[in-house]
Chains A and B, each alone.
Chain A
Amino acid sequence: MPRATCVTIFGEVEAPDVTAVRAERAAPELRELYERMLRIRQFEAKVDVLYRQGRVRGPAHLGLGQEAIAVGVASVLGPGDHSLGTYRGHAHALARGAPEEAVLRELLGRVGGICGGKGGSMHITSVEHGYYGSYAIVGGHIPTAVGMAWASRIRRDGAVTACFFGDGTTNIGAFHEAVNLAAVWKLPVVFVCENNLYMEYTPIGDVIPVDRPAADRAPAYGLAPIVVDGNDVAAVRETALAAVERARRGDGPSLVEALTYRLGGHSVADGGAYRDPDEVAAARTRDPLVRLATELARSGAMTVEASDALVAQVKAEMDALAVRVLAEPTADGADAWTGMWSDGGATWRN
């Protein structure tokens, strides 16, 4: 793919040039990606409100501003492909098609939660949609993703595994062990580092000796350094497509660093006061939804009025969803004694 200089929150970086591809792709396709991102944005905005009302069990880590990565990658995965994400994983699950209703039930501790009330926000999983889980131990799921790709290589089933993680994850040992093994075994896995500039509350630059946490380390595994503007869904999509095709060809893993910004705090309990307000304001101008809406309006694919109406409509849907789910019965305590084993039981002795 040709490369071009693109302006990101990090300043200018060399990234795949998607200008030609963007022109080729039909506007309806971009509009569809916009709608998927918008639904995730409004879902999480609603979760934010529900958390502040004390209705969400446990913490919730929102990916507001990072939606283009989950949606862009998911858009090139097929039904047989696998993906795994992190505790900041609502977007990764929803982008694969996990039903909003079952996810919200999980967050609100209602009957019918997508993990039966046992997982909560940090462990959203929807195997039916190819989403093999959200994991809350930083980096703990990367070896798992490698194992899924290993199974695909053994079975020659053509499936690709996408694995999302944050910039801070590149400092944990499991990342190194897993990426190394995937590269040695040439496994069909796409590692996607969502570099949102902050390792929890700490600037990532303070804890890495290189500029790019993932891309600068890729050569150590014999992999190309790939950087993409993670706030540009079309760019993410094309980059992911190239990586997925490479994996499906049997040419091994890719390590993609998608540059983005977390518009909110580390979790809903964090106001993000450690960040320069000017930095946050600048990031808001690069909000992936705002950018795509502007682009769609400019190309005539979707007028500003239509876009505003769509936002209002989706917001109303999420409000209605929350009202409906809040009225549903809460999960039964006795269910805690079920499902540790695959026969549904949880006994350890006779």
Chain B
Amino acid sequence: MAQLTFREAVAAALDQEMARDETVVLLGEDVGSGGVFKTTAGLRDRFGPERVWDTPISEQAIAGAAMGAAAAGLRPVAEIMFSDFYATCWDQVANEIAKACYMTGGQLRMPLVIRGSNGGGLGFGAQHSQSIENWAMCVPGVKIVSPSTPDDMWGLLAASIRDPEPVLVLEHKALFGTKSEWPGGDHVVPLGEAALRRSGEDVTLVGLARTVGMCEQAAVALADEGIAADVLDLRCLVPLDAAAVLASARRTGRVVIVEENPGQLGWGAAVAAILAEEAFDDLRAPIVRVSGGNVPLPVATAMEAEVMPSPEKVVVAARGLLEGRVPAASTARV
């Protein structure tokens, strides 16, 4: 069976969708030459410059052009090279794209994807490492997808391109080199369905993108201690498969939410609020979040690790819940 890397999965999904739908067009900085992460490698050679467009360093023009092309009936896929750069085109994303359908009474449709690298752990520093899923989650009107495996990267990106709504696809840059077995063939994974990666009755570990792997590693370590964990991969924040989270939480009664974005207002807070409001009576312990630190991301290895979630932190949190202690919450740290 073939091996597929996460970065190859991005190109494979784009290739698959561009071949099946000629309205799918790509634009972004350096996408023609394959991009800095090689996620669009080979696409201009296969589909030509009329389908793969290199842009200036102009994120507002990139996101806005995607919006206009979508309004005109194409299915553009725009690359924002590092998700930190969303800040430079947030008007287009948050004020224009997210609101166009609603504020025009449904006259404008936005079948577009904005995709690119997200997340830290590689020492890229404060302006190239952020996990911005919480930025997006503050804005009703966009879908948010962040895959954890190469096959999900392929299938969820394909589904995002086919989706009639604007979808932000956040590709964790620390996952680009990860591999999985790949049987070949077309692949689509529906949006809004969480995946139960591992089953256990003692505690639920909820992750997204890179933190799913952390949860899985933690679950292995916890199993050695006799603690069985559910590992739930959300895959999408919007639409959120809240039912899957609630079902698991009701079964285990204990939940650790593992998110890379800063805990002071991360997506984990929204998930925790849903649990508190709708599953309170089934919880046997407080909800705990293992979150990214509430500081700009530092570069030095030990410093970045200090403020990132990790399997070890997840183990400590889960063990604490099982022992009847409330672990220190990430939001309480300086």
Contact = CB atoms under 8 A, between A and B. Distances in A.
Given A140-B95, A147-B76, A133 B108 contact: yes
B106 A344 contact: yes
A143 B107 contact: no
A348 interface: yes
Contact of A146 (B64, B102, B106, B165): B64
A144 B108 CA distance: 12
Contacts of A143: 60-61, 63-65, 67-68, 92
B95 A147 contact: no
A137 B103 contact: no
Contacts of A116: 105-106
B96 A140 contact: yes
Contacts of B274: 349
B102 A118 contact: yes
Contacts of B76: 147
Given A82-B72, A143-B68, A350-B240, A114 B60 contact: no
Contacts of B109: 342
A128 B100 CA distance: 15
B91 A140 contact: yes
A168 B86 CA distance: 24
B301 interface: no
Contacts of B101: 339-342
A181 interface: yes
Interface string B14-58: 000000000001000000000000000000000000100101101
Interface string A129-146: 000110101001111111
A191 to B, nearest CB: 13
Size category of the B interface is 35 or more
Interface in B125-175: 140-141, 164-165
B50 A350 contact: no
A340 B141 contact: yes
B239 interface: yes
A125 B101 CA distance: 11
Interface string B221-244: 000000000000000001111110
Interface in B79-118: 91-92, 95-96, 100-109, 111
A350 B192 contact: yes
Contact of B68 (A119, A126, A150, A173): A150
A349 B165 contact: no
A177 to B, nearest CB: 4
B92 A140 contact: yes
A339 B95 contact: no
Given A143-B63, A143-B67, A144-B68, A177 B56 contact: yes
Contacts of A304: none
A180 B68 contact: no
Given A113-B105, A177-B60, A181-B61, A342 B164 contact: yes
B9 to A, nearest CB: 26
A348 B141 CA distance: 9
Given A146-B61, A150-B69, A180-B61, A115 B105 contact: yes
A60 to B, nearest CB: 16
Contacts of B96: 135, 137, 140-141, 144
Interface string A308-350: 0000000000000000000000000000000111111011111
Interface in B237-255: 238-243
Interface residues of A, number: 52
B90 to A, nearest CB: 11
A132 B192 CA distance: 30
B13 interface: no
Contacts of A342: 101, 106, 109, 111, 164-165
Given A144-B96, A150-B65, A137 B91 contact: yes
Interface string A176-190: 011011001100000
B327 interface: no
Contact of B71 (A114, A147, A184): A147
A347 B238 CA distance: 9
A125 B65 CA distance: 19
A227 to B, nearest CB: 25
A155 B50 CA distance: 9
Contacts of B91: 137, 140, 174
Contacts of A75: none
Q: Which 6 A-B pairs have the closest CB atoms?
A: A143-B64, A147-B68, A116-B105, A151-B72, A147-B65, A177-B58
Interface of B: 25, 50, 53, 55-56, 58-61, 63-74, 76, 91-92, 95-96, 100-109, 111, 140-141, 164-165, 192, 238-243, 274
Interface of A: 82, 113-119, 123, 125-128, 132-133, 135, 137, 140-152, 154-155, 161, 173-174, 177-178, 180-181, 184-185, 339-344, 346-350
22 contacts: A116-B106, A123-B104, A125-B104, A132-B108, A135-B96, A137-B91, A140-B96, A145-B68, A146-B64, A147-B66, A154-B50, A174-B60, A177-B56, A178-B60, A181-B56, A184-B56, A340-B102, A342-B101, A344-B106, A349-B239, A349-B240, A349-B274
Given A181-B55, A181-B65, A350-B239, 18 more contacts: A114-B105, A115-B105, A133-B104, A143-B60, A143-B61, A143-B64, A143-B68, A143-B92, A144-B64, A147-B71, A147-B76, A150-B65, A151-B69, A151-B73, A155-B74, A173-B60, A346-B140, A350-B240
